[in-house]
Amino acid sequence: MYTNDGSFWNVFSDFDRLFASVGRNLGATRAGTPFPGDAAPALNVWGNDDALVVTSEIPGVDPANLGITVHGDTLTVKGTRVVAPAREKQPERSAEFQRSIQLPYRIDAERTEARCRDGVLSITLQRSASDKPRAISIAAS
Amino acid sequence: MSSQTLSQTKDQAVTTGRDGAVARPQPVRVPAVSVRETEQAIVLDADLPGVSLDQVEITIDQDVLTLRGTVAPVAHDGYRLLHREYAEAGFARSFTVPDGIDRQQVAAAVKNGVLTLTLPKQQAAQPRRIAVQTG
């Protein structure tokens, strides 16, 4: 699939690739406290020319604590995972994560749907109508 | 917790069709598990995203506890996979059960893709206060 400027879409921009090579925990787009022992959750992306499905495994995250935002061609997922303490009398620990991903085209935020079940998040995003290629008719002179 | 890796171990989970026929083995991952101890029990929290309660299998054989979770693959018809960071696969992991566990009282619950397994300690293994009688 190609983006509007003709370049092949790769979710890792050069900027991101630099950080990814240094270690997952240092990703510029993966801000926030990582999951205990882990970086922000992994994402899979499925798509065609009109829609995308982004899935992620977020076990232990209460869907009520999820914040999903769409702006232009960027999807951001934020959440909190509560972790039971290692020792009985200690308080619960809370780990927050946030991850932004740049999509191959701009999204119609109104038609975005998200579902979370058994710790698996699935977000369906529709391409913005104004983002689709449009044929221009030539007026007869 | 260690990161999840996809591995095709010799011990692959085998999915069974409704008529009892054995289907293709499903590759499994090793789930991240936290183990903690309370006064009454040993508690395991296993990350099994995509696994619902009826897809969890817990077996204790001799002193080996095995957790298995199967994941129903989600079809994405009409879409191409553009980017993959994790494999949608089932889970399997084994543990050695310590002495002093009351196996009849093992309890399991699943919430948001996390399996919480409670292994109660036998009465004798719990700390007991001895009352001191004044003479």
Which of chain B's residues have a Cβ under 8 Å away from the Cβ of A97? none
**Residue from A44, A66, A13 nearest B6 by CA:** A44
Structural domain contains residue A141: no
Stretch 51-110 of chain B: residues touching chain A, C-beta under 8 Å: 51-52, 74, 76, 78-86, 88, 110
B8 in contact with A, Cβ within 8 Å? no
In contact, B118 and B45? CB cutoff 8 Å: no
Structural domain contains residue A9: no
CATH at residue A73: 2.60.40.790
User: Which residues form the domain of A121?
Assistant: 14-129
User: Nearest Cβ partner of B86 from A35, A42, A119?
Assistant: A42
This complex has an ipTM of: 0.71
Domains of chain B, start order: 6-73+88-124 (2.60.40.790)
Structural domain contains residue A54: yes
The pLDDT value recorded for residue B25 is 62
CB contact under 8 A, A37 and B2: yes
What is the pTM (predicted TM-score) of this model? 0.71
Q: What are phi and psi of A18, to 5 degrees?
A: -60, -45
CB contact under 8 A, B85 and A122: no
A28 in contact with B, Cβ within 8 Å? no
Structural domain contains residue A99: yes
Total domain count for chain A? 1
Per-residue pLDDT of chain A (141 residues; tens, 9 = 90+): 555 555 555 554 444 444 444 444 333 333 333 344 445 889 999 999 999 999 999 999 999 989 999 999 999 999 998 887 777 777 888 888 999 999 999 999 999 999 999 999 999 999 998 888 888 889 887
Structural domain contains residue A4: no
CB contact under 8 A, B114 and A45: no
Structural domain contains residue A121: yes
